[in-house]
Structure 1
């Protein structure tokens, strides 16, 4: 049972809430103004029901002062005139919830069962890094051992793994644990750069060498001198560019567009989610480049094959989501059970998104099963029976559902979704516009860019 402080300038509302709370078995006390409410706060108060619109000191100011205290109680803001502005401001300042008057007894009962205990976890002083490689499963132990053996060599490493498994993290770990750790780490997503720009992005160019070359560009290879160059999604590299990469790996020389050959000192680490041996057999990837890249292969198992890593990863992402000086949330038993039962088609990236969403939207100190929303697949599944209506309508219904499912499974990555659907990315983008699928359904930026791309 909770000890609740009611702060409201309306006598009838105070009395009604007081009576409802005592009938539900709780202890209640009242205050008729913001200043009186602040004066009544004590360590025994576990929750505050706070009116927003009061004369003198309004509810927002009272909330701000309560939240500034050490170990503050949960505050639920009540208002008869809810607006986007006061709702956003109240939640931003740390309100547990923002409710519109009148509040019924059943709603009050439910609210009180959700309130966190006043015994809050200590504020976080620990730090967590996005670059931390988490996992103690047998599959991840093999990855970690391979990183340790390959880090200090000059050999080219080829990382295999499904989208979202953390291929760039492995590449960064190779860099951080190598003698090149003080040098730059440069990541290039080969799938996100148009073929006619990829050579310039990688090798650089000389001013005036082509239309639009208004200044010299060093390129990724020289940017990564004495460091590591990570070529992500190398399976999507055009054949003509593959020949030039092979030459660089063999001769350790690059030639900027319109320029003269210069030495390349960067170590190359490549990654792909595709089966390069099949691409070689299909004539879509050079066999000689495949063997030149695949000196040290590292295969990252999908998350569904290493369930022992799910909880440590989730706890790590909870820590990452904690704001400096704020309490660290905990994963409840129900949340852990739900996380470990899920198949995680989007792998570690999807797990991080789910945990971060739960941390942001859950005011309680404990994340429960109901706070875990695994993916858009839960609400956008293919229809159980055949589509209805005429044939064009039925085809459109099925097409939209398949696009939604592909985007959800790929964490919104349009390049990967298009590949799974066996269509090109521009066609996918056109169909997304036709069906009104916004950027919320696909987080990948449609503009090609150099750098990270969801791995």
Structure 2
């Protein structure tokens, strides 16, 4: 009796000692029944002795009380095991479960499993913070690299949204393949920017990137404009657009606008590069072609404006630039990029406040990235202080403008004429604002030569006034 009392006292003393341990301790018998857990285990796990004592670990796992069990793994393997575990308290721990064998049994048998639970919540938080800092440092390095490229005139696309990042990865693969590429997307979404990105990541990066806009070419002399010609009277040689693009990339601004009379020429260019001039001389060209379009491959086929064989050539690697409203994560970085470019150009130190950011995020951007770039510049110009507030951003005015134009639509629309009128309206506004074609073209995101050619065309159409300065 005295011996039993002595053992009982030792057991009580051991419980007192174990409860002083900072680490949690959880003990089961050889059948996975809970026989002990200390105070620290209660604090770490949120589980109470009253609800755990005598309960079997298999039952606790099945009921979801415990997410995973080191005890059951030990009973299954017979070996010590260490795993990481999270608890309903939000705490995390490394648990080590160790088998205790009954030395009195002839057959080796596990009599107990002792699990030591060491809390690592703070360590985990530090590790998580360290990972965040490393990611932040990578982002800073990327930003520094972007600024370096911008200062060197080699600006990369701004991409934070996962879909945009995936698009850039596809573009890099396309750049290595040297095949015709079609880039689809809404007006202002960044199709030309993506084409430039492909150019910069291709082996043709050291050669020209030449834009081709069929709307500014004279229809009666299309082939001459493309491949060049020799003037019969003066014997002077005139270089064509293809000559300018030799070795590099020719970017067609809208594939759907390609006149049918030159589609055969481009098909030959894509097939083997051989094109016959008006003088009957064949020449092999080394040009990679990227075309942009408002329409997808399927829509271009349905329109029947482009030769099916030509569409087939561009269907190998089609890319689609999502509209800005579908990649909200890119809006603020893009706005800051445009504002940074404005600050470097003017020497000012403008910045957006939080309310202006919210205003931009709430807007649906029908004009996409081009509209955002224009709006940033307008806002920077009209804001009086360093901070650009929501009152400096004409987003609400833009919404009313678009809604007004929709309400004014007639029952029947000549789309080509309407587009020309709208473009002429913007060009007139830009020229009257800056009084020179170079700045007006830059404000609209156009080449100066394109602005001049289109303006001459719209003057003939009566959509713009003539001006001796041009």
TM-score by length of 1: 0.57
- 8 Å Cα contact 1:222-1:266 kept in structure 2: no
Question: Is 1:401 matched up with 2:390?
Answer: no
Instruction: Give the structure 1 partner of residue 453 of structure 2.
Output: 447
Aligned pair count reads: 290
Q: Deviations over 1:213-264 (max 9, x none)?
A: 9732221222111111111101111222112211111121123344512110
Instruction: Give the structure 1 partner of residue 282 of structure 2.
Output: 261
- Partners of 1:271 and 1:171 lie apart in 2 by 8
* Match for residue 186 of structure 1 among 202, 210, 213: 210
Inter-CA distance 175–302: structure 2 relative to 1 (3 Å threshold): same
* Match for residue 271 of structure 2 among 236, 245, 250: 250
Inter-CA distance 431–152: structure 2 relative to 1 (3 Å threshold): closer
Question: Is 1:148 matched up with 2:169?
Answer: no
- 8 Å Cα contact 1:186-1:229 kept in structure 2: yes
Question: Is 1:206 matched up with 2:230?
Answer: yes
Inter-CA distance 309–429: structure 2 relative to 1 (3 Å threshold): closer
Deviates more, 1:343-352 or 1:179-188: 179-188
- 8 Å Cα contact 2:297-2:315 kept in structure 1: no
Instruction: Give the structure 2 partner of residue 72 of structure 1.
Output: none
* Match for residue 361 of structure 1 among 363, 366, 382: 382
Aligned positions of 1:343-362 closer than 5 A: 343-362=364-383
Please state which structure has a larger fraction of its residues in helix: 2
- Partners of 1:198 and 1:347 lie apart in 2 by 32
Deviation at 1:315, TM superposition (A): 0.3
Instruction: Give the structure 1 partner of residue 243 of structure 2.
Output: 222
Inter-CA distance 380–147: structure 2 relative to 1 (3 Å threshold): closer
TM-score by length of 2: 0.55
Inter-CA distance 261–400: structure 2 relative to 1 (3 Å threshold): farther
- Partners of 2:426 and 2:201 lie apart in 1 by 42
* Match for residue 323 of structure 2 among 269, 280, 302: 302
* Match for residue 423 of structure 1 among 411, 415, 428: 415
Inter-CA distance 400–307: structure 2 relative to 1 (3 Å threshold): closer
Bigger RCO (CA 8 Å, 6+ sep):
1
- Partners of 1:190 and 1:177 lie apart in 2 by 26
Instruction: Give the structure 2 partner of residue 163 of structure 1.
Output: 187
* Secondary structure class of the residue paired with 1:155: coil
* Match for residue 257 of structure 2 among 231, 236, 247: 236
Aligned positions of 1:313-392 closer than 5 A: 313-323=334-344, 326-374=347-395, 377-380=398-401
**In terms of Rg, which structure is larger?**
2
Deviation at 1:360, TM superposition (A): 1.5
- Partners of 1:135 and 1:431 lie apart in 2 by 30
- 8 Å Cα contact 1:206-1:259 kept in structure 2: no
Q: Deviations over 1:357-382 (max 9, x none)?
A: 11112121111100111275445355
* Secondary structure class of the residue paired with 1:159: strand
Question: Is 1:292 matched up with 2:313?
Answer: yes
* Secondary structure class of the residue paired with 1:223: helix
